Structure 1
């Protein structure tokens, strides 16, 4: 078995990484330390799998970057991926290539929601879900998730009440959940699908975070019985799994022909046509050749999670990491901390030189949360957590002096 190197990081200046950019970070935190460590935007600092880098190098050296099309090999790579990784059989005609999951959300809103229609979200949730409605002058209905045993649960009574009374046209369901990394069970997914059918709500499942599994088993919405598939739109991409977000390639899987054709009609209106050349090559290579890289990456991130959890449990009074099944983005409850999330983020940027995510980015019901990014080397995580621990110990000491 080939051993992949996750300790050697890419040079994030060459790719103009937003998370590492001084001007972007200073716009958020003007007094951030110059040697800051960014643990915020959800991309990884690892070099892509060498198989992907080789394929892109060959494409680059070839020297032609003209118009292309979704190849038969690309379609087959998606079909094979779902069979070998998720034991799901999908048909080629269900698959539609896109330029990103967030653009797909916008296109879906344009396709299926009229003025004054709404989408339903279980919050907190990934902010661009709401933007897809708001940017198109549609409405957002939020149903807060419930916290139980340090995990989120769905408030089924509230979900059904809102579907019955407010008649949303679609629900955007994040599986696994972003930001907490919670894997929803098959029974929970089916229950949501049943409610959507009962109240004529389109069931839209974003499964972008489904490939980095820390604990448990992921269930795709595509594993539901056929009776639920006629109301399903599934969005995903290789972007989080293989760190390909800048290549702007994604896809949808829509079993129902009528829904699929209506969605594609909006693609035509927006002139979504040929795919990104390197994106298609990178994605096809990832799905055909990079299973082992992905598995080793998940194991490496799990070790980063253990490092982080050890620091938080030992040094961060008032912080509590929610139980996390997937992804590389732990969700930290700071409701019992000495400072609020904005104050914590500011002092971590300025004193510790560590840039963290804050709950403002997750629509609602996230006023006491921070998010970290573990998609980097063990050494960087050790350095970041050590800096943050020293800063937080100073906060605690200052509080004790002022008592």
Structure 2
């Protein structure tokens, strides 16, 4: 297999419109300077996109015209998604089931608005991606209903009794599943997913599964798309994208897979007409047809980063509890053994170490104060520098 990733190369992101880097000042190249803040709060990579994709995007640029574009004009687009799910997951998808969106959050928002009313309950299982709460409370004016995950020394599971109780409430209309789970790193088993499907179906709860991290998992784990664990799709919507897998969030290329005709019709009516850029269309086609080798290498590099970070933490910050995530490129760090306040933990990391993580309360407002989320798909030297700075503040 030809090496496709320039391991440990640091590519400058300052001045490139990067949300992750532009708000902190300075440059990536100055990462050894203790005054330079190092960001690990955003779930995108500081690693280059696949070379075949870059070449395909150059072809789009060289065409010199970038007018209105639509994925339905190019049969390769739908076929690429269908083939990817069959090849990678043995999951059957049909072209009629596909609807493009700008991102997974647009898909989630569309589901909430289309299938519930203002004030209805939307179930989530915290700790979970904080933007779900924003979608529910601030963007669609519904009510968060938390069926909290159970923490078994860093390994999280569903609270089945509580989940069924929450689903049985008639005003709780939708369950948003994060699969794999961000930030806690679970890759749900087939049996867990089947139980979620069964409980939602029994209680007439619409199940929307956000699977944008589905391609990023450890060698010894298997991700099961929600559509692969049941033959009854009457209450299921699956949302995914190339964004996390191939570091293309800025291209705004995601999709919903909705087998049920009625659900799909309601979803598309709420979404309205959606046109993708020619860059997004070409990127997806290339990603799903030319970049399997790159993904295998990237997953290897991410796992090496995870192993490095966990080993470093165990030796230099032994009071920080962290479990190797089964999926995603996210570490969920538990600082509770230090006995420090949330404010002090934040101050030591963000102000003294000059490392930007993401406060746990973003993903778990009531119980996340002792946690930090760290996204680590970065060159190893950056990760090493950040961990060394943090260790000095917690030694």
TM range (shorter): over 0.9
| Unpaired runs of at least 5, structure 2 | 27-32
Q: Report how far residue 208 of structure 1 moved.
A: 0.7
Q: Does 1:131 align with 2:142?
A: no
The equivalent of 2:226 in structure 1 is: 221
In the TM superposition, what whole-angstrom CA distance separates every residue of 1:81-128 from its partner, at most 9, and x where no partner exists? Answer: 001111111100001011100111111111111122121011111112
The equivalent of 2:102 in structure 1 is: 99
Structure 2 residue matching 1:189: 3-state secondary structure: helix
The equivalent of 1:86 in structure 2 is: 89
> CA separation of 1:299/1:45 partners in 2, compared to 1, >3 Å: closer, same or farther?
same
The equivalent of 1:322 in structure 2 is: 323
The equivalent of 1:383 in structure 2 is: 385
Q: Does 1:179 align with 2:179?
A: no
Q: Equivalents in 1 of 2:118, 2:18: separation in Å? A: 37
Q: Equivalents in 2 of 1:36, 1:288: separation in Å? A: 37
The equivalent of 2:284 in structure 1 is: 283
Q: Equivalents in 2 of 1:203, 1:142: separation in Å? A: 15
Q: Equivalents in 1 of 2:11, 2:81: separation in Å? A: 27
- Does 82-91 or 132-141 show the bigger shift? 132-141
Count the aligned residue pairs. 383
CA contact (8 A) 1:317 1:337 kept: no
> CA separation of 1:363/1:313 partners in 2, compared to 1, >3 Å: closer, same or farther?
closer
Q: Does 1:368 align with 2:373?
A: no
> CA separation of 1:280/1:343 partners in 2, compared to 1, >3 Å: closer, same or farther?
farther
CA contact (8 A) 1:39 1:373 kept: yes
Q: Equivalents in 2 of 1:274, 1:304: separation in Å? A: 37
Q: Report how far residue 199 of structure 1 moved.
A: 0.7
Q: Equivalents in 2 of 1:119, 1:363: separation in Å? A: 16
CA contact (8 A) 1:121 1:141 kept: yes
CA contact (8 A) 1:146 1:152 kept: yes
Q: Does 1:47 align with 2:48?
A: yes
Q: Does 1:110 align with 2:110?
A: no
CA contact (8 A) 2:310 2:324 kept: no
The equivalent of 2:150 in structure 1 is: 146
Q: Report how far residue 184 of structure 1 moved.
A: 0.6
Q: Equivalents in 1 of 2:302, 2:95: separation in Å? A: 33
Q: Equivalents in 1 of 2:153, 2:391: separation in Å? A: 25
The RMSD of aligned alpha carbons is: 1.7
CA contact (8 A) 2:341 2:370 kept: yes
CA contact (8 A) 2:24 2:37 kept: no
CA contact (8 A) 1:33 1:349 kept: no
TM norm structure 2: 0.93
Structure 2 residue matching 1:372: 3-state secondary structure: strand
TM norm structure 1: 0.91
Q: Equivalents in 2 of 1:216, 1:255: separation in Å? A: 26
CA contact (8 A) 1:6 1:297 kept: no
Q: Does 1:200 align with 2:204?
A: yes
CA contact (8 A) 2:345 2:370 kept: no
CA contact (8 A) 2:129 2:363 kept: yes
> CA separation of 1:114/1:43 partners in 2, compared to 1, >3 Å: closer, same or farther?
same
CA contact (8 A) 1:318 1:338 kept: no
Q: Does 1:189 align with 2:193?
A: yes
The equivalent of 2:167 in structure 1 is: 163
